[in-house]
Amino acid sequence: MNTAVFNNAEKIIEGWYWALRSAELKRGRARAISFFGRELVIYRGHDGRVRAMDAYCPHMGAHLAEGKVEGNSIRCLFHHWKYDESGRCTEIPCQQQIDFVPQIQTFPAEEKYGLIWIWTGSRAKLPVPFVPELEGRECDFSLGKRFVKACHPSVMMINAIDSQHFNSVHQLPVELNLEPAEIDESRILFKNTTRIPRTRRLLRLLARFYRDSLTYRLCYWFASTGTVTIGPDFLHFHILFALRPTKDGRSEGQAIFVTRKRNGLIGKITSRVLLLLTRIVSHYFARGDTLIFNSIRFNFRTPVKADLPIIRFIQHTERQKTIAWGLVEEGDKIKPAALKFPVSAKR
């Protein structure tokens, strides 16, 4: 199956990608990161908000992460040029007035579920990925371990909609039927419609907890981040897998376990227990798939009827907008500003 975007390490789909954990960036501090082939500085202003911009000062190229956060701006260590959150230079100490305005490329940055996310396109058009069932609600969450897998994020994404492998690898006693529904060009939903068969006593007992079909829903964002919702009608478990591709076609990932926020001491204890159970559920499925992720050479040559959700996902991925490595939009590369010299300088 020939594809131009799916499983292509040279293409970055425009969207939100996780950069680092929120706890790794304290108020008033800056950090250097390498993000899709571009060096960035991320800093947290005194108002607590996170900003992201190109790492190098346009004056002589000093790295801004070595500088100092002042209020909600950042000052270069080398010559103390100061830049606000829009990337605009607001102060040059050796100059009485700024006759030209150096500008640094900035990138939208937000925080959700304990992670700092950066938008890779020209402007943020969609929200940071979230669990659809918990949209607009306060949530408790815990972070799993970071991981690296030897396959592309889009290949990892199809694993959760591969109904065949749930029976062959995980011995699931139910054959899933996942129906896709595309929300927009960047998001797609998959929902199971299969009821639990009542062929055995254990299955008949399990079926009592489901009014309709077995709950298994997925929402994929930018073909690289996905949410999974499972569990009986009265209690759902939510897992979010945030992935980003590497230049050599691997996946750097972070698992997030999410539940709705509950008040009071009992509520907090309940949430902690549910997050622990969600982690256990996640580990159960991940354990069986790790060997596959680290050895697969994806080549989709012989699709069958059961692969229809995978085909729909690949088609969805192929329609998405991509950017080149270095966070530059294809066909709209950022041109360096013309070199300008000030007409009045302090002597």
Q: What is the pLDDT of residues 223-274, one digit of tens each?
A: 999 999 999 989 999 999 999 999 999 999 999 999 999 999 999 999 999 9
pLDDT of residue 328: 63
DSSP string, 3-42: -SSTT-TT-EESSEEEEEEGGGS-TT-EEEEEETTEEEEE
Tokens of 333: 């590369």
Q: Could you tell me the domains of the chain?
A: 14-122 (2.102.10.10), 132-324 (3.90.380)
Predicted pLDDT at 265: 95
User: What's the confidence (pLDDT) of residue 324?
Assistant: 85
Does the structure show a pLDDT above 60 at 346?
no
**Structure tokens, 303:** 């699709």
Strand pairing category for 216-221 and 225-230: antiparallel
What's the confidence (pLDDT) of residue 212? 87
CB 149 within 8 A of CB 244: no
Q: So what's the pLDDT on residue 21? A: 97
Whether residue 180 has pLDDT greater than 90 = yes
Integer Cα distance of 131 and 52 in angstroms: 25
With CA atoms as reference, report the closest residue to 189 among 114, 256, 132. Answer: 132
According to the model, what pLDDT value does residue 141 have? 96
Smallest Cα–Cα separation from 244: which of 13, 3, 53?
Answer: 13
Cβ contacts of 232 within 8 Å, gap of 6 or more = 209, 210, 215
Q: Is the dihedral of CA 251, 158, 281, 19 positive or negative?
A: positive
Q: Kindly report the average pLDDT of the chain as a whole number.
A: 88
Position 341 scores a pLDDT of 38
Cβ–Cβ under 8 Å, residues 323 and 121: yes
In this predicted structure, the answer to whether residue 333 has a pLDDT above a threshold of 50 is: no
Residue with the bigger pLDDT between 318 and 289: it is 318
pLDDT at 342: 41
pLDDT tens-digit map of 263-306: 999 999 999 999 999 999 888 777 777 778 888 888 888 888 88
Burial of 283 (0-12, 13-18, 19+ CB in 10 A): exposed
Nearest alpha-carbon partner for 139 in 264, 263, 242: 263
CA distances to 35, 156, 208, 328 from 249, rounded to whole Å, are 15, 11, 44, 19
- Per-residue pLDDT band at 330 (split at 50, 70, 90): very low
**Which two tokens mark 316?**
């969805």
- Which residue from 306, 23, 36 is spatially nearest to 161, judged by alpha carbons? 306
pLDDT for 343 beyond 80: no
81 or 344, higher pLDDT: 81
What does the buried/exposed string (b/e) look like for 259-275 if buried means 16 or more CB atoms within 10 Å of the residue's CB? bbebeeeeeeeebeebb
Mean pLDDT of 138-161: 93
pLDDT in tens, 40-69: 999 999 999 999 999 999 999 999 999 999
Tokens 């009992």: give the residue.
266
> Taking the complete model, does pTM exceed 0.85, yes or no?
yes
